[in-house]
Chains A and B, each alone.
Chain A
Amino acid sequence: MPSAQELAIVALSLKVSAVAIFGIAPLAFGVAWVLARGRWAGLVVLDAVVHLPLVLPPVVVGWLLLLAFGAQGPLGRLLADCGITLMFRWTGAALASAVMAFPLMVRAMRLSIEAVDRRLEQAARTLGASRWRVFVSVTLPLAMPGVLAGLVLGFARSLGEFGATITFVSNIPDETQTLPLAIYAALQTPSGDALVTRLALISVTLSLAALVVSEILARRMTRWNGGGRHGY
Protein backbone atom coordinates (compact mmCIF):
# COMPACT_ATOMS: atom_id res chain seq x y z
CA MET A 1 0.00 0.00 0.00
CA PRO A 2 1.26 3.49 -0.80
CA SER A 3 2.00 5.66 2.22
CA ALA A 4 0.06 8.80 3.09
CA GLN A 5 2.92 10.87 1.71
CA GLU A 6 2.84 9.01 -1.61
CA LEU A 7 -0.93 9.29 -1.83
CA ALA A 8 -0.71 13.03 -1.23
CA ILE A 9 1.85 13.36 -4.02
CA VAL A 10 -0.31 11.33 -6.43
CA ALA A 11 -3.42 13.30 -5.43
CA LEU A 12 -1.65 16.60 -6.04
CA SER A 13 -0.39 15.35 -9.43
CA LEU A 14 -3.85 14.22 -10.48
CA LYS A 15 -5.35 17.53 -9.35
CA VAL A 16 -2.75 19.59 -11.22
CA SER A 17 -3.16 17.52 -14.39
CA ALA A 18 -6.95 17.44 -14.27
CA VAL A 19 -7.19 21.22 -13.85
CA ALA A 20 -4.57 21.71 -16.57
CA ILE A 21 -6.27 19.45 -19.12
CA PHE A 22 -9.86 20.50 -18.57
CA GLY A 23 -8.82 24.14 -18.43
CA ILE A 24 -6.94 24.02 -21.71
CA ALA A 25 -9.24 21.56 -23.55
CA PRO A 26 -11.66 24.15 -25.02
CA LEU A 27 -8.77 26.22 -26.38
CA ALA A 28 -7.06 23.10 -27.73
CA PHE A 29 -10.28 22.06 -29.47
CA GLY A 30 -10.78 25.52 -30.92
CA VAL A 31 -7.24 25.68 -32.29
CA ALA A 32 -7.52 22.09 -33.59
CA TRP A 33 -10.76 23.06 -35.35
CA VAL A 34 -9.20 26.11 -36.98
CA LEU A 35 -6.15 24.11 -38.09
CA ALA A 36 -8.32 21.28 -39.44
CA ARG A 37 -10.94 23.37 -41.21
CA GLY A 38 -9.36 26.78 -41.78
CA ARG A 39 -8.29 27.75 -45.27
CA TRP A 40 -6.00 30.76 -44.92
CA ALA A 41 -2.23 30.84 -45.39
CA GLY A 42 -1.34 32.20 -41.92
CA LEU A 43 -2.30 28.84 -40.42
CA VAL A 44 1.23 27.56 -41.05
CA VAL A 45 2.46 30.07 -38.49
CA LEU A 46 -0.24 29.14 -35.98
CA ASP A 47 0.63 25.48 -36.48
CA ALA A 48 4.30 26.21 -35.76
CA VAL A 49 3.52 28.26 -32.63
CA VAL A 50 1.24 25.50 -31.32
CA HIS A 51 4.05 22.98 -31.68
CA LEU A 52 6.70 25.14 -30.00
CA PRO A 53 6.38 23.59 -26.50
CA LEU A 54 7.00 20.19 -28.08
CA VAL A 55 10.45 21.18 -29.35
CA LEU A 56 11.59 23.97 -27.00
CA PRO A 57 13.62 22.93 -23.95
CA PRO A 58 10.98 22.76 -21.16
CA VAL A 59 13.17 25.00 -19.03
CA VAL A 60 12.76 27.72 -21.67
CA VAL A 61 9.00 27.35 -21.52
CA GLY A 62 9.21 27.66 -17.73
CA TRP A 63 11.35 30.77 -18.04
CA LEU A 64 8.89 32.31 -20.55
CA LEU A 65 6.07 31.58 -18.11
CA LEU A 66 8.11 33.34 -15.39
CA LEU A 67 8.54 36.36 -17.66
CA ALA A 68 4.84 36.51 -18.47
CA PHE A 69 3.23 35.40 -15.19
CA GLY A 70 5.93 36.34 -12.66
CA ALA A 71 5.45 39.19 -10.18
CA GLN A 72 6.88 41.65 -12.73
CA GLY A 73 5.35 40.03 -15.81
CA PRO A 74 2.50 41.78 -17.67
CA LEU A 75 0.05 38.89 -17.20
CA GLY A 76 1.28 38.28 -13.66
CA ARG A 77 0.46 41.87 -12.68
CA LEU A 78 -2.92 41.67 -14.36
CA LEU A 79 -3.78 38.50 -12.43
CA ALA A 80 -2.36 39.95 -9.20
CA ASP A 81 -4.85 42.81 -9.53
CA CYS A 82 -7.56 40.15 -9.53
CA GLY A 83 -5.96 38.50 -6.50
CA ILE A 84 -4.53 35.53 -8.38
CA THR A 85 -0.90 34.40 -8.06
CA LEU A 86 0.39 31.53 -10.15
CA MET A 87 4.06 31.60 -9.20
CA PHE A 88 5.05 28.95 -6.64
CA ARG A 89 1.45 27.75 -6.54
CA TRP A 90 -0.15 24.49 -7.70
CA THR A 91 -2.21 26.54 -10.14
CA GLY A 92 1.06 27.65 -11.73
CA ALA A 93 2.07 23.99 -12.01
CA ALA A 94 -1.25 23.38 -13.76
CA LEU A 95 -0.53 26.22 -16.19
CA ALA A 96 2.94 24.87 -16.97
CA SER A 97 1.46 21.37 -17.49
CA ALA A 98 -1.27 22.75 -19.72
CA VAL A 99 1.19 24.61 -21.94
CA MET A 100 3.39 21.54 -22.31
CA ALA A 101 0.47 19.19 -23.05
CA PHE A 102 -1.19 21.63 -25.47
CA PRO A 103 0.57 20.55 -28.71
CA LEU A 104 -0.16 16.85 -28.15
CA MET A 105 -3.82 17.56 -27.48
CA VAL A 106 -4.21 19.85 -30.48
CA ARG A 107 -2.55 17.24 -32.69
CA ALA A 108 -4.83 14.40 -31.63
CA MET A 109 -7.95 16.55 -31.84
CA ARG A 110 -7.00 17.97 -35.20
CA LEU A 111 -6.48 14.50 -36.68
CA SER A 112 -9.82 13.37 -35.34
CA ILE A 113 -11.61 16.41 -36.82
CA GLU A 114 -9.87 15.90 -40.16
CA ALA A 115 -10.93 12.25 -40.16
CA VAL A 116 -14.63 13.16 -40.07
CA ASP A 117 -16.14 12.55 -43.50
CA ARG A 118 -17.41 15.92 -44.66
CA ARG A 119 -19.81 14.25 -47.07
CA LEU A 120 -21.75 13.11 -43.99
CA GLU A 121 -22.00 16.74 -42.92
CA GLN A 122 -23.38 17.64 -46.34
CA ALA A 123 -25.92 14.84 -46.07
CA ALA A 124 -27.02 16.21 -42.69
CA ARG A 125 -27.48 19.69 -44.17
CA THR A 126 -29.76 18.35 -46.92
CA LEU A 127 -31.81 16.63 -44.22
CA GLY A 128 -32.56 19.96 -42.58
CA ALA A 129 -29.72 20.41 -40.08
CA SER A 130 -28.21 23.86 -39.54
CA ARG A 131 -24.43 24.19 -39.32
CA TRP A 132 -24.57 24.14 -35.55
CA ARG A 133 -26.84 21.09 -35.53
CA VAL A 134 -24.47 19.31 -37.91
CA PHE A 135 -21.58 20.09 -35.59
CA VAL A 136 -23.38 18.78 -32.52
CA SER A 137 -25.04 15.72 -34.05
CA VAL A 138 -22.51 14.56 -36.65
CA THR A 139 -19.06 16.15 -36.45
CA LEU A 140 -18.57 16.17 -32.70
CA PRO A 141 -19.80 12.61 -32.02
CA LEU A 142 -17.66 11.25 -34.87
CA ALA A 143 -14.60 13.19 -33.68
CA MET A 144 -15.28 12.47 -30.01
CA PRO A 145 -13.18 9.31 -29.57
CA GLY A 146 -10.19 11.19 -31.00
CA VAL A 147 -10.91 14.24 -28.87
CA LEU A 148 -11.06 12.07 -25.74
CA ALA A 149 -7.89 10.28 -26.80
CA GLY A 150 -6.28 13.72 -27.05
CA LEU A 151 -7.44 14.57 -23.53
CA VAL A 152 -6.06 11.32 -22.12
CA LEU A 153 -2.78 11.75 -23.96
CA GLY A 154 -2.50 15.34 -22.71
CA PHE A 155 -3.29 14.13 -19.19
CA ALA A 156 -0.51 11.55 -19.37
CA ARG A 157 1.93 14.10 -20.74
CA SER A 158 0.96 16.53 -18.03
CA LEU A 159 1.51 13.92 -15.26
CA GLY A 160 5.10 13.64 -16.46
CA GLU A 161 5.77 17.38 -16.74
CA PHE A 162 9.03 18.35 -15.06
CA GLY A 163 11.20 21.04 -16.62
CA ALA A 164 8.72 23.87 -17.14
CA THR A 165 7.09 23.19 -13.77
CA ILE A 166 10.25 23.23 -11.65
CA THR A 167 11.44 26.38 -13.44
CA PHE A 168 8.16 28.24 -13.08
CA VAL A 169 6.83 27.15 -9.66
CA SER A 170 9.85 25.44 -8.06
CA ASN A 171 9.67 22.19 -6.07
CA ILE A 172 7.53 22.86 -3.01
CA PRO A 173 6.17 19.81 -1.11
CA ASP A 174 2.35 19.74 -0.90
CA GLU A 175 2.05 22.76 -3.21
CA THR A 176 3.92 22.21 -6.47
CA GLN A 177 5.70 18.90 -5.87
CA THR A 178 4.06 16.60 -8.41
CA LEU A 179 5.17 13.02 -9.07
CA PRO A 180 8.25 13.74 -11.23
CA LEU A 181 9.37 16.54 -8.91
CA ALA A 182 8.96 14.28 -5.87
CA ILE A 183 11.02 11.59 -7.60
CA TYR A 184 13.69 14.17 -8.34
CA ALA A 185 13.68 15.37 -4.71
CA ALA A 186 13.86 11.80 -3.40
CA LEU A 187 16.81 11.10 -5.69
CA GLN A 188 18.67 13.97 -4.00
CA THR A 189 18.01 12.45 -0.54
CA PRO A 190 20.48 9.77 0.67
CA SER A 191 17.72 7.47 1.98
CA GLY A 192 15.25 8.15 -0.81
CA ASP A 193 15.78 5.01 -2.96
CA ALA A 194 12.70 3.14 -1.78
CA LEU A 195 10.49 6.18 -2.32
CA VAL A 196 11.93 6.69 -5.81
CA THR A 197 11.13 3.09 -6.74
CA ARG A 198 7.57 3.28 -5.47
CA LEU A 199 6.85 6.65 -7.09
CA ALA A 200 8.38 5.50 -10.36
CA LEU A 201 6.16 2.40 -10.32
CA ILE A 202 3.10 4.57 -9.77
CA SER A 203 4.23 6.78 -12.65
CA VAL A 204 4.63 3.85 -15.02
CA THR A 205 1.23 2.45 -14.05
CA LEU A 206 -0.58 5.75 -14.57
CA SER A 207 1.12 6.41 -17.91
CA LEU A 208 0.47 2.89 -19.18
CA ALA A 209 -3.20 3.12 -18.23
CA ALA A 210 -3.51 6.45 -20.03
CA LEU A 211 -1.88 5.11 -23.18
CA VAL A 212 -4.11 2.02 -23.24
CA VAL A 213 -7.25 4.14 -22.84
CA SER A 214 -6.08 6.51 -25.58
CA GLU A 215 -5.33 3.59 -27.93
CA ILE A 216 -8.76 2.04 -27.34
CA LEU A 217 -10.41 5.37 -28.15
CA ALA A 218 -8.30 5.81 -31.28
CA ARG A 219 -9.33 2.37 -32.53
CA ARG A 220 -12.93 3.13 -31.92
CA MET A 221 -12.59 6.23 -34.06
CA THR A 222 -11.09 4.25 -36.92
CA ARG A 223 -14.01 1.87 -36.79
CA TRP A 224 -16.55 4.68 -37.00
CA ASN A 225 -14.91 6.73 -39.67
CA GLY A 226 -13.17 4.24 -41.91
CA GLY A 227 -14.62 0.91 -40.88
CA GLY A 228 -18.17 2.15 -41.17
CA ARG A 229 -18.24 1.68 -44.91
CA HIS A 230 -16.77 -1.81 -45.14
CA GLY A 231 -20.12 -3.44 -44.46
CA TYR A 232 -21.78 -1.91 -47.50
Chain B
Amino acid sequence: MGIEIDVTLRRGDALIATRFASEAGLTALFGPSGAGKTSVLDMVAGLLRPDAGRIVVGGQVLFDSAAGIDLAPEQRRCGYVFQDYRLFPHKSVEANLLYGWRLSAPEQRWISLPEVCSFLGIGHLLARMPRQLSGGEAQRVAIGRALLSGARCLLMDEPLSSLDAARRGEIMALIERIRDDLRLPILYVSHDRAEVERLAGRIIALD
Protein backbone atom coordinates (compact mmCIF):
# COMPACT_ATOMS: atom_id res chain seq x y z
CA MET B 1 0.00 0.00 0.00
CA GLY B 2 2.70 2.47 -0.95
CA ILE B 3 3.18 5.49 -3.10
CA GLU B 4 4.86 5.47 -6.51
CA ILE B 5 5.78 8.77 -8.08
CA ASP B 6 7.53 9.58 -11.32
CA VAL B 7 6.75 13.12 -12.45
CA THR B 8 8.27 16.00 -14.34
CA LEU B 9 7.00 19.54 -14.42
CA ARG B 10 8.59 22.59 -15.95
CA ARG B 11 7.74 25.90 -14.32
CA GLY B 12 9.51 28.75 -16.01
CA ASP B 13 13.21 27.99 -15.80
CA ALA B 14 12.85 25.45 -13.01
CA LEU B 15 12.43 21.77 -13.74
CA ILE B 16 10.84 19.65 -11.05
CA ALA B 17 11.58 16.01 -11.68
CA THR B 18 11.41 13.26 -9.12
CA ARG B 19 10.99 9.54 -9.09
CA PHE B 20 10.60 7.24 -6.14
CA ALA B 21 8.49 4.46 -4.71
CA SER B 22 7.87 4.05 -1.02
CA GLU B 23 6.09 1.48 1.09
CA ALA B 24 3.95 2.36 4.12
CA GLY B 25 5.69 4.65 6.56
CA LEU B 26 6.84 8.21 6.33
CA THR B 27 8.73 9.39 3.27
CA ALA B 28 10.26 12.82 3.58
CA LEU B 29 10.77 15.16 0.65
CA PHE B 30 13.71 17.17 1.82
CA GLY B 31 15.39 20.17 0.26
CA PRO B 32 15.78 23.94 0.33
CA SER B 33 12.78 26.21 -0.22
CA GLY B 34 11.99 26.68 -3.88
CA ALA B 35 13.05 23.14 -4.76
CA GLY B 36 9.47 22.22 -5.63
CA LYS B 37 8.68 20.06 -2.61
CA THR B 38 5.18 21.46 -2.22
CA SER B 39 4.64 21.15 -5.98
CA VAL B 40 5.20 17.40 -5.68
CA LEU B 41 2.52 17.17 -2.97
CA ASP B 42 0.20 19.31 -5.13
CA MET B 43 0.73 16.94 -8.05
CA VAL B 44 -0.14 13.92 -5.90
CA ALA B 45 -3.26 15.71 -4.59
CA GLY B 46 -4.31 16.70 -8.10
CA LEU B 47 -3.99 20.44 -7.49
CA LEU B 48 -1.15 20.72 -9.99
CA ARG B 49 -0.85 18.79 -13.21
CA PRO B 50 2.54 17.28 -14.09
CA ASP B 51 3.75 17.65 -17.67
CA ALA B 52 4.36 13.94 -17.75
CA GLY B 53 4.63 10.98 -15.46
CA ARG B 54 2.70 8.58 -13.29
CA ILE B 55 1.37 8.69 -9.74
CA VAL B 56 0.08 5.58 -7.98
CA VAL B 57 -1.21 5.52 -4.41
CA GLY B 58 -2.27 2.31 -2.68
CA GLY B 59 -2.44 0.46 -5.98
CA GLN B 60 -4.70 3.01 -7.70
CA VAL B 61 -3.36 5.05 -10.59
CA LEU B 62 -4.15 8.72 -9.90
CA PHE B 63 -2.27 10.14 -12.84
CA ASP B 64 -0.69 8.58 -15.89
CA SER B 65 0.10 10.87 -18.78
CA ALA B 66 0.78 7.93 -21.13
CA ALA B 67 -2.58 6.30 -20.37
CA GLY B 68 -4.45 9.61 -20.24
CA ILE B 69 -5.49 9.17 -16.62
CA ASP B 70 -5.89 12.29 -14.47
CA LEU B 71 -8.26 11.90 -11.54
CA ALA B 72 -9.87 15.04 -10.11
CA PRO B 73 -8.63 16.01 -6.62
CA GLU B 74 -11.92 14.92 -5.06
CA GLN B 75 -11.50 11.40 -6.46
CA ARG B 76 -7.96 10.90 -5.16
CA ARG B 77 -8.59 10.52 -1.42
CA CYS B 78 -5.26 12.04 -0.47
CA GLY B 79 -5.46 13.68 2.95
CA TYR B 80 -3.62 16.95 2.52
CA VAL B 81 -2.41 18.72 5.66
CA PHE B 82 -1.39 22.21 4.64
CA GLN B 83 1.26 24.38 6.21
CA ASP B 84 -1.37 27.05 6.88
CA TYR B 85 -4.05 24.56 8.09
CA ARG B 86 -6.77 25.92 5.76
CA LEU B 87 -9.63 25.24 8.14
CA PHE B 88 -12.95 26.61 6.87
CA PRO B 89 -13.38 29.84 8.86
CA HIS B 90 -17.19 29.81 8.62
CA LYS B 91 -17.58 26.29 9.97
CA SER B 92 -17.17 24.99 13.52
CA VAL B 93 -14.37 22.57 14.35
CA GLU B 94 -16.88 19.73 14.26
CA ALA B 95 -18.18 20.78 10.83
CA ASN B 96 -14.60 21.09 9.59
CA LEU B 97 -13.78 17.59 10.85
CA LEU B 98 -16.88 16.10 9.26
CA TYR B 99 -16.58 17.97 5.95
CA GLY B 100 -14.74 15.22 4.11
CA TRP B 101 -16.32 12.43 6.17
CA ARG B 102 -19.78 13.40 4.94
CA LEU B 103 -18.56 13.42 1.33
CA SER B 104 -16.90 10.02 1.55
CA ALA B 105 -18.63 6.74 0.76
CA PRO B 106 -19.31 4.68 3.92
CA GLU B 107 -16.95 1.90 2.76
CA GLN B 108 -14.10 4.41 2.42
CA ARG B 109 -14.36 5.54 6.03
CA TRP B 110 -11.90 3.84 8.34
CA ILE B 111 -12.04 6.11 11.39
CA SER B 112 -14.92 7.79 13.23
CA LEU B 113 -15.28 11.24 14.77
CA PRO B 114 -14.99 9.96 18.39
CA GLU B 115 -11.90 7.94 17.44
CA VAL B 116 -10.26 10.96 15.81
CA CYS B 117 -11.13 13.14 18.79
CA SER B 118 -9.54 10.80 21.30
CA PHE B 119 -6.57 10.04 19.05
CA LEU B 120 -5.79 13.74 18.54
CA GLY B 121 -7.13 15.03 21.85
CA ILE B 122 -9.47 17.55 20.26
CA GLY B 123 -12.84 16.48 21.70
CA HIS B 124 -13.11 19.64 23.79
CA LEU B 125 -12.69 21.87 20.70
CA LEU B 126 -15.66 20.62 18.66
CA ALA B 127 -17.94 23.62 19.29
CA ARG B 128 -15.28 26.26 18.65
CA MET B 129 -14.70 28.23 15.50
CA PRO B 130 -11.29 27.97 13.82
CA ARG B 131 -10.34 31.54 14.77
CA GLN B 132 -10.59 30.52 18.44
CA LEU B 133 -7.88 27.86 18.08
CA SER B 134 -4.17 28.08 18.79
CA GLY B 135 -1.74 26.97 16.08
CA GLY B 136 -1.23 23.53 17.59
CA GLU B 137 -4.96 23.00 17.99
CA ALA B 138 -5.67 24.13 14.43
CA GLN B 139 -3.01 21.75 13.11
CA ARG B 140 -4.52 18.81 15.01
CA VAL B 141 -7.98 19.65 13.65
CA ALA B 142 -6.55 19.87 10.13
CA ILE B 143 -4.95 16.43 10.56
CA GLY B 144 -8.23 15.03 11.94
CA ARG B 145 -10.17 16.47 9.02
CA ALA B 146 -7.81 14.76 6.56
CA LEU B 147 -8.01 11.41 8.38
CA LEU B 148 -11.82 11.53 8.52
CA SER B 149 -12.11 12.11 4.77
CA GLY B 150 -11.24 8.45 4.24
CA ALA B 151 -7.73 9.29 3.10
CA ARG B 152 -5.51 6.42 2.02
CA CYS B 153 -2.37 8.50 2.38
CA LEU B 154 -1.39 11.73 4.07
CA LEU B 155 0.39 14.60 2.38
CA MET B 156 1.96 16.89 4.96
CA ASP B 157 3.46 20.22 3.98
CA GLU B 158 5.78 21.56 6.68
CA PRO B 159 3.17 20.85 9.36
CA LEU B 160 5.48 22.03 12.15
CA SER B 161 6.85 25.20 10.62
CA SER B 162 4.45 27.67 12.21
CA LEU B 163 4.44 26.10 15.68
CA ASP B 164 6.53 26.85 18.76
CA ALA B 165 8.97 24.26 20.15
CA ALA B 166 6.57 22.69 22.66
CA ARG B 167 3.77 22.28 20.09
CA ARG B 168 6.26 20.85 17.60
CA GLY B 169 7.13 18.04 19.96
CA GLU B 170 3.45 17.27 20.50
CA ILE B 171 2.55 17.20 16.81
CA MET B 172 5.69 15.21 15.97
CA ALA B 173 4.65 12.54 18.46
CA LEU B 174 1.21 12.50 16.84
CA ILE B 175 2.66 12.07 13.39
CA GLU B 176 4.71 9.11 14.67
CA ARG B 177 1.54 7.51 15.99
CA ILE B 178 -0.25 8.06 12.66
CA ARG B 179 2.73 6.43 10.96
CA ASP B 180 3.02 3.49 13.38
CA ASP B 181 -0.50 2.90 14.78
CA LEU B 182 -2.65 3.86 11.80
CA ARG B 183 -0.04 2.62 9.30
CA LEU B 184 -0.93 5.31 6.81
CA PRO B 185 1.65 6.13 4.13
CA ILE B 186 2.79 9.71 4.64
CA LEU B 187 4.54 12.03 2.21
CA TYR B 188 6.16 14.69 4.31
CA VAL B 189 7.71 17.92 3.13
CA SER B 190 10.26 19.72 5.25
CA HIS B 191 13.45 21.72 5.09
CA ASP B 192 14.43 20.84 8.66
CA ARG B 193 17.02 18.07 8.81
CA ALA B 194 16.46 17.12 12.48
CA GLU B 195 12.72 16.81 11.96
CA VAL B 196 13.16 14.66 8.88
CA GLU B 197 15.73 12.40 10.52
CA ARG B 198 13.49 11.76 13.47
CA LEU B 199 10.33 11.03 11.48
CA ALA B 200 11.24 9.61 8.12
CA GLY B 201 11.84 6.01 7.16
CA ARG B 202 13.06 7.28 3.85
CA ILE B 203 14.36 10.63 2.64
CA ILE B 204 14.05 11.87 -0.93
CA ALA B 205 16.30 14.84 -1.61
CA LEU B 206 15.04 17.54 -3.95
CA ASP B 207 17.27 20.38 -5.04
Contacts and interface: CB of A to CB of B under 8 A. Distances in A.
Interface in B86-112: 86, 88-90, 99-100, 103-104
Nearest to B139: A232
Interface stretch (A32-40, A74-82, A115-123, A183-191): A115-123
A125 B46 contact: yes
Contacts of A130: 72, 74
Nearest to B136: A232
A128 B84 contact: no
A18 to B, nearest CB: 27
Given A119-B82, A127-B103, A127-B146, A227 B73 contact: no
B133 A125 contact: no
Nearest to B48: A122
A122 B43 CA distance: 12
A127 B99 contact: yes
Contacts of B103: 127-129, 133
B79 A228 contact: no
Nearest to A133: B103
Contacts of A141: 90
A117 B76 CA distance: 22
B50 interface: no
A133 B104 CA distance: 13
Given A230-B131, A232-B134, A126 B88 contact: no
B90 A232 contact: no
A230 B146 CA distance: 22
Given A126-B79, A128-B149, A119 B74 contact: no
B52 interface: no
Interface residues of A, number: 25
A231 B86 contact: no
B149 A231 contact: no
Nearest to B150: A128
A231 B132 contact: yes
Interface string A207-227: 000000000000000001101
B99 A232 contact: no
Nearest to A128: B103
Contact of A232 (B45, B74, B85): B85
A231 B130 contact: yes
B47 A126 contact: yes
Given A120-B88, A232-B138, A128 B74 contact: yes
B135 interface: yes
B100 A127 contact: yes
A142 B87 CA distance: 13
A122 B41 CA distance: 13
B53 to A, nearest CB: 19
Contacts of B187: none
A46 B138 CA distance: 41
Interface in A131-151: 133, 137-138, 141-142
Contacts of A142: 89-90
B134 A127 contact: no
A14 interface: no
Contacts of A119: 82, 84, 86
Contact of B73 (A126, A224, A229): A126
A123 B133 contact: no
B84 to A, nearest CB: 7
B160 to A, nearest CB: 14
Contacts of A124: 88, 99
A17 B80 CA distance: 46
B47 A228 contact: no
Interface of B: 45-47, 72-74, 76-80, 82, 84-86, 88-90, 99-100, 103-104, 130-135, 138, 145-146, 149-150, 162
Interface of A: 117, 119-120, 122-130, 133, 137-138, 141-142, 224-225, 227-232
18 contacts: A119-B84, A119-B86, A120-B89, A125-B46, A125-B72, A125-B74, A126-B45, A126-B76, A127-B146, A127-B149, A128-B74, A142-B89, A224-B90, A229-B89, A231-B131, A231-B138, A232-B85, A232-B162
